[in-house]
Each structure stands twice: as structure tokens, then as C-alpha cells.
Amino acid sequence: MMNTPMFEHLIERYRALSYTHQYIYGFYFQNMVYMVKTDAEIMPYVLKLDRASRGAGYSLRFRPTKAQKILLISKGAQVLCSKAYFDEYVKASRYNKGEIFEKMVTEFHGQEWKKDSVPFTKAGDVTVYGIAYQIKFEGATFTNEKILAGM
């Protein structure tokens, strides 16, 4: 866990502004794509402090290590599809990995996916049984200093 004041500040600020405190994380592990539903309590254990691009300061990223993936699997992660299938799906699409993961998770839950850019402060990415979730695939940025400063 990265317990620096900046890391803690970014998580605290993100959580204070976020519409939901429920997440569906996606990641590769042993040639499979996993998804796991968690609450915000896991954030300090699976996110990292990173440098944002274009002068936006620091950022919060989901770039899990093997140990963090094992932790997420222990929290009830399930296989969504094979890595090969996922990578082919992304390659054949105009969307990125995060968008394809969001589409697959939404469809897994019996809903139709539409690309949108609703801010994390206004809604989740998918609502399942009345619970709104933010969806993040490995490599995703949650937020950065510039975004938070503008709110």
C-alpha cells in the first residue's frame, strides 16, 4: 500500500466527490480476464499514485501487481472471458480496453451498453440491482489533481 499524503488526499477527494462507492475492476490474470465487485475500502490496496500527463499533477491509477490481482481474486473475482478473446474483441473494435471491458460487464448483467462520458460525480457506469458501479480495467486512471482542483 502506498501511504503518502498525496495518495491519501487523492483517494479521499475522489471518494468525497464520487457518485458511487462501488466498483467493478477488471484485470488480466493467467490468460483470463477477471472482474470483481468491491467497495471503496479496497482502493488504497489496489490503486497507485502516478504522474498524470499534460501537466495535470499526480493521478490515481488502477495498475495492479500480481499480488494485488491475487487479493482481488480472493474478494470473489470471476472470469469474464479469455485474454485472447478480449484482445481480439478490442482489436476488432474502435473502442479501447476500458470501454470494451465496460461493454462486456454491462452486457454480462443483461443490459445494453452505450458509450457515454458521464462524469464520475453524476452516475456510475452500470447499475445492477439498484447499485451503481464505476467500472475500471487495469491501466485506468481514476482521476488526477487537475480534475479534482476544478471541482
Say what percent of the chain tops pLDDT 90. 83
Place of cell 452516475: 123
- Which amino acid makes up residue 104? M
CA dist list (Å): 17 to 20, 26, 33, 79, 87: 9, 22, 29, 31, 33
pLDDT digits (tens, 9 = 90+) for 56-109: 889 999 999 999 999 999 999 999 999 999 999 999 999 999 999 999 999 999
Q: Residue ranges per domain, the chain?
A: 5-149
- How close are the terminal C-alpha atoms of the chain, in Å? 27
pLDDT band of 1, cuts 50, 70, 90 = very low
Mean pLDDT check: name the lowest of 33-37, 50-54, 60-64, 74-78: 50-54
pLDDT digits (tens, 9 = 90+) for 130-147: 999 999 999 999 998 988
The string of DSSP codes covering 95-106 is: S-HHHHHHHHHH
